[in-house]
Each structure stands twice: as structure tokens, then as C-alpha cells.
Structure 1
Amino acid sequence: MTIGSRKERSVRENGESDETGESVMEQEKREQDAYSILSDHVNAELTEKKSVFLTDAYPVHSEEEAAEKIQEVSRKYYDARHHCFAYVLGDHKEIVRQSDNKEPAGTAGRPILSVIQGENLTYVLIVVTRYFGGILLGTGGLVRAYTGSAKAVLHLAKEEGKILTLRHAQKLRIHLPYAQAESLQYDLAQKKIRVLETVYEAEVTIHICVPAEEAKGVILEISQKTSGAAQVVREEEGFFAV
């Protein structure tokens, strides 16, 4: 099998903590409050016994958009025998679709979907186009090839920085005097708090994004750090990169 670019966790049972100090329940809650998305189109190519598998991964936000992308790939590779796909949508990954597109049942769509789910991805579509090379792969070979194709495109996406992890987060807007700004900015950087934007006008306005469960503590720390000089306003709450 050749791959080329086209352009444990272990957890303990019964509520015990792992080596990070998190309990199983805490880990599960954290994972439920986070998911990953694809930020841009990525493609990859895999060859297995002369069959060529061309894989396209897209960020999509609706079933209609997914259908359009599938048709786009089908038109692009109109002479190919199969265009198999899987996609996951929704903040809670509640919409799931997959298709073997005339490959033997369970050999294409399901393996692609398993890779997507294994990466905790949502709002993503993967389409794998197969050009038959004259050698039958068998059901096991097809499962391995479609699994490998999906893994290859997501591996490239990671290498290219196109997979983002989003968490349940709170955006905060901080208003403070210039005299306090530099010290607070240093403190935010030290704590690795994501700064979205800084605006310098009559006063300094800093927009930040923090995990939702940490927002109350961050607001308190900012107030203490600036001796009450900073005004912090809660803004949008949702799933954001933090």
C-alpha cells in the first residue's frame, strides 16, 4: 500500500483518576464539551493493488451542502466506478450518514465513518473515489483501503493545521485603562488564554475566549489583577477554539 499527498488513552474504572488526576466522569464530561472540525478542503491519494483511491475531505454545515460536495466530486471523477462517503454533522454529532456506493455492504462507508468518529470530528464530509485497477481486493482489502484512505486525508489535515478543536467556551470583553493593559496582557499570555482581538482607543479593549467552566474564575482573577480597574463583560457562549 502506498500513500501520497495530492495536494490508551487509558482510563480507570469506578470513578478512579488516571495519571492526569482526572476521574473517568470528568474525562467523559470534558470530551462531551469538545469536538474537532476541519477548517478547509484536504485531499489525498492511496494505491492498493493498482486500484487508486482519491480522497476528498470537506468542512460542511448541512446535509444539503454535503450532497452538493458529493455531486461535485462525482462530476470531477465522472469516469470512476465508486464514490463512497460518510459525514457527521451537529454540535453533538447527531446527524450521521454513510454510503458504500455499490461496493460490498459495509466495506466503504462504514470504515470511513469509523475514522471520522474516532477523531471526534463533526461538520465534516469524506468522499473516497475508487478507480479499479483490475485486481479484486476482497472485502477485507476494501475495508483496509477505505479505512486507510480516510486516515490518510485526516493525517494530512493535521499536518497542515486544518483540524481545529472546539470547546464549550465563553467570550469575554475586557475594558481597562492603558496603565493596566500591559501587565494584564502579559498575564493572559502566561496563562495561555486565547486573545481574539485588542483594540486601542480611549481605553484598551481586549477580547478573549476561555473554557466556559473557567469563565467565572478568569473574571475574578482579572478583577484582582487590575485591582478592580477592569470591567469584564460576558459575550457569546458556544463552541469555539480556545
Structure 2
Amino acid sequence: MEQEKREQDAYSILSDHVNAELTEKKSVFLTDAYPVHSEEEASEKIQEVSRKYYDARHHCFAYVLGDHKEIVRQSDNKEPAGTAGRPILSVIQGENLTYVLIVVTRYFGGILLGTGGLVRAYTGSAKAVLHLAKEEGKILTLRHAQKLRIHLPYAQAESLQYDLAQKKIRVLETVYEAEVTIHICVPAEEAKGVILEITQKTSGAAQVVREEEGFFAV
């Protein structure tokens, strides 16, 4: 139950386009993964890939959208039912990704792969592009988080900044004006404790204001 709650409070996204290539028994599988934020955008990307590889036999895809991964679509695009779209989707879901589209374009090489071979090829293609995305640092994990704004005197700032660094709390921005303003982002469930700790650490000199709550990198 606790593991399920943690998964619901976090998800991963793709930050940029990634492409990969796989060859299986002379069939070439070209895979494109895109960050997308709506079904309309996903449809546009699918059409874009179809136009780019207009002479290919199949453009199979799957995508997941929504903070809770509530929108799911997949297509075998004339491959045998269940051999393409579903395997691609399973890879996306296995990585806890959302707001992502994967399109796998197949150029037939003249050798039939069979249903098992197709499932392995489409699964392998989706895994390959996401593996590359990880290597390139293009997969980000977002958690249910709270942004906080801290106002405090210069005399307290250096010590607090040291503590934030030691606790690996993400600092978004620091502004030096009449006083120091530090913007931070913490997991939502830890916000109350962080506010209390900052207040105690600065003997009440710091004013902490809750700002936006949502899914952010922390």
C-alpha cells in the first residue's frame, strides 16, 4: 500500500525527443519518443512521423497522458492484433512514464517474424529508445511537491543555505535585495516539517510562505 502511494505521488516524463534504431531479421524498426501534453499533440507527432517515413509499412504507437496516467492509447497499425501497440505501451507503463508518445516505424525486410518475434521487436524498440533517453539524461522524475518562499535577514542566510545544501533540498532561486529570499521545492509530505525546521533554525527570523503545489522535480 505504501509503495502504491509513493508511485501515485511521483511519475517520470521525457524532456526531449529521442530516436533509436533496431534491426530484426532484415526488418528495420525506427523508434521516435516524444514528450506530448495532449491527444492533439500526440496525433500531430504521429502524422509527422508517418509523413517522414511515408514509404514504411507500419507506424505503430502508444502514448500515456495525465498526472495520473489516465489517458492511454495504442495502435498496432495493421500489424497482427496485440503485437505492437500493446508491447510499446507496456514498456511505457513499466517505466512509470506519462506525457509521452512512442512511435515505432517498421520497414519490412522480407522475412516474417511471427507474432512472438513482432512482440519482441516492438518491445525491444521501445526499451531501446527509453534506455537511450536515460543515458542522455532526458527522463525526469517528478514528485508531488510544494514550492516554498523563504524571507530572512542576511545574517541568517549563509547558515540556512548550508543546511539546505546538506539536506539536499532543491533551491530554485536565491534573490538578494533588502533581505534574502530563497525559493525551494520539497516533497509535499515533507513541507510542514521543513517549515518548522527552518523556523526553529532561524529562531523565528525566517518567514516561510507556501507557494505552488503540484508535480515538480525535487
**TM interval, short-chain normalised:** over 0.9
Residue 107 of structure 1: how far off its partner (Å): 0.3
CA RMSD of aligned residues (A): 0.5
Residue 179 of structure 1: how far off its partner (Å): 0.9
1:37-56 Cα offsets, whole Å, 9 max, x none, are 00100000001011100000
Residue 27 of structure 1: how far off its partner (Å): 1.6
Q: 2:185 aligns with which of 204, 209, 225?
A: 209
- Corresponding position of 1:169: 145
Residue 154 of structure 1: how far off its partner (Å): 0.3
Total equivalences in the alignment: 218
1:19-39 Cα offsets, whole Å, 9 max, x none, are xxxxxx222111111110001
Q: State the secondary structure of the residue aligned to 1:145.
A: helix
Q: Distance in 1 between matches of 2:2 and 2:193?
A: 18
Q: State the secondary structure of the residue aligned to 2:72.
A: strand
Q: Distance in 1 between matches of 2:211 and 2:90?
A: 36
Residue 201 of structure 1: how far off its partner (Å): 1.0
TM-score, normalising length: structure 2: 0.99
1:52-71 Cα offsets, whole Å, 9 max, x none, are 00000000000000000000
Unmatched runs of 5 consecutive residues or more in structure 2: none
1:55-103 Cα offsets, whole Å, 9 max, x none, are 0000000000000000000000011000000000000100000000000
- Pairing 1:240–2:216 present: yes
Q: Distance in 1 between matches of 2:3 and 2:175?
A: 36
- Corresponding position of 1:32: 8
Q: State the secondary structure of the residue aligned to 1:197.
A: strand
Query: Using CA pairs below 8 Å that are at least 6 residues apart, which structure has the higher relative contact order?
Result: 2
Q: Distance in 1 between matches of 2:97 and 2:183?
A: 27
Residue 123 of structure 1: how far off its partner (Å): 0.3
Q: Distance in 2 between matches of 1:172 and 1:201?
A: 18
Q: Please show how residues 1-242 of structure 1 align to structure 2 within 5 Å.
A: 25-242=1-218
Q: Distance in 2 between matches of 1:175 and 1:117?
A: 41
Residue 207 of structure 1: how far off its partner (Å): 0.5
Residue 224 of structure 1: how far off its partner (Å): 0.8
Q: State the secondary structure of the residue aligned to 1:209.
A: strand
Q: Distance in 1 between matches of 2:194 and 2:65?
A: 32
Identity %: 99
Q: Distance in 2 between matches of 1:164 and 1:30?
A: 16
TM-score, normalising length: structure 1: 0.89
Q: Distance in 1 between matches of 2:120 and 2:114?
A: 10
Residue 228 of structure 1: how far off its partner (Å): 0.7
Q: Distance in 1 between matches of 2:176 and 2:108?
A: 60
Unmatched runs of 5 consecutive residues or more in structure 1: 1-24
1:138-161 Cα offsets, whole Å, 9 max, x none, are 100000000000000000000111
1:96-153 Cα offsets, whole Å, 9 max, x none, are 0000000000000000000000000000000000001111111000000000000000
